[in-house]
Amino acid sequence: MENDSNNIHQAKLVIAPAKSAISTILSNLIIQSCHRALQQSTIFTIAISGGSLPTFLQELPDAFSKANIDPQWDKWHVLLADERCVPSSHEDSNLGAIRTHFTNGVGIPPSQIYGIDETLLGSSDDVAASYQENVVKYLLDKKKSTDDDGKIDCALLGFGPDGHTCSLFPNHKLLSEQNRLVASIADSPKPPPSRITLTLPFLNKYCRQIIFCGAGESKRQIIQAVFTDVEKANNNAVKHDDSVLVGAKVSLVVLCNPAPYPCGMVHGYGDDDSLIWLVDEDACS
């Protein structure tokens, strides 16, 4: 468990009326994040995890069209929040899923969609070290050099029914990582065992906005455990723009400290919209 005793961390809890509404709301949040980034910088950087997350991105291109906003895909840089150490053509590949559900249909230059170095697959440590140097640090430097404070603009994360996020699993030694921004894991309890992942230092220091997404009853116990008082969240309802958070209930919640699960250790960067949890009613009721 992380004991970050000096700080109270808040999140915006956005409860979509149904799983089907998550894609719409997520698309609107990404449009906002992209717009904000491209006002301040010449590039938009977004980290995406695997699991069900890529399926929530299918509506994004249409959402840009409906909003009559040019996504400027040529300015997008997509990195992986975690990846299984397999070739991108393998059915377990997160990059493969992101391509299938999102990037294959849009004009992001392939050189700006950053997979792992498949020539290094014999050593997950080497894959992680290479991803840290050649992708993560490269993009942070690129942000710094484009009139920006050197943060990844947005990270889209899932969370498992065991409370993991990225490939950061409960009670695993990687939760104590202090320095590396990307690390390898050889014993992931969720198959396949060999993976690389963004670390807590990266997620908590170098992301301007984190959006967790999850749906369904299997996530309920995690939501109840990660926040101090979800039942009372309705009392903390916040005003919101219904054209963005369509039909959602929105409240401010406080993360439990110490955090009971890895996903609860991701507390974001600090301002109002830096940590959003977007879930459906089934995950919350």
Q: What is the C-alpha radius of gyration for the chain, rounded to an integer number of angstroms? A: 18
Mapping DSSP onto H, E and C, the string for 171-223 reads CCHHHHCCCCCEEEECCCCCCCCCEEEECHHHHHHCECCEEEEECCHHHHHHH
In this chain, which of 24, 33, 46, 50 binds ligand 6PG, going by CB under 6 A? 50
Of 174, 202, 216, 179, nearest in space to 267 by CA: 202
d(CA 110, CA 258): 41
Question: Given the complex with ligand 6PG, which of 75 and 84 has the nearer CB atom?
Answer: 84
Phi, psi torsion values for 262, nearest 5 degrees: -55, -40
Q: How far is the CB of 214 from ligand 6PG (least distance, A)?
A: 6
In this chain, which of 54, 71, 115, 158 binds ligand 6PG, going by CB under 6 A? 158
d(CA 149, CA 32): 18
In this chain, which of 11, 31, 34, 53 binds ligand 6PG, going by CB under 6 A? 53
For residue 27, state whether it binds ligand 6PG (rule: CB under 6 A): no
Tokens of 261: 């699960």
For residue 166, state whether it binds ligand 6PG (rule: CB under 6 A): yes
Tokens of 165: 């996020």
For residue 190, state whether it binds ligand 6PG (rule: CB under 6 A): yes
For residue 51, state whether it binds ligand 6PG (rule: CB under 6 A): yes
Number of residues that bind ligand 6PG (CB under 6 A): 17
In this chain, which of 28, 165, 204, 257 binds ligand 6PG, going by CB under 6 A? 165
Which segment (34-42, 63-71, 164-172, 223-231) binds ligand 6PG by CB under 6 A? Answer: 164-172
d(CA 101, CA 129): 27
d(CA 264, CA 74): 34
Q: How far is the CB of 135 from ligand 6PG (least distance, A)?
A: 16
For residue 94, state whether it binds ligand 6PG (rule: CB under 6 A): yes
Q: Which of residues 126-145 bind ligand 6PG (CB under 6 A)?
A: none
Give, rounded to a whole angstrom, the gap between the first and last alpha carbons of the chain. 26
Question: Nearest-CB residue to ligand 6PG?
Answer: 51
Contact (CB, 8 A) for 125 and 133: no
- Give contact residues for ligand 6PG (rule: CB under 6 A): 49-53, 82, 84, 94, 158-160, 164-167, 190, 214
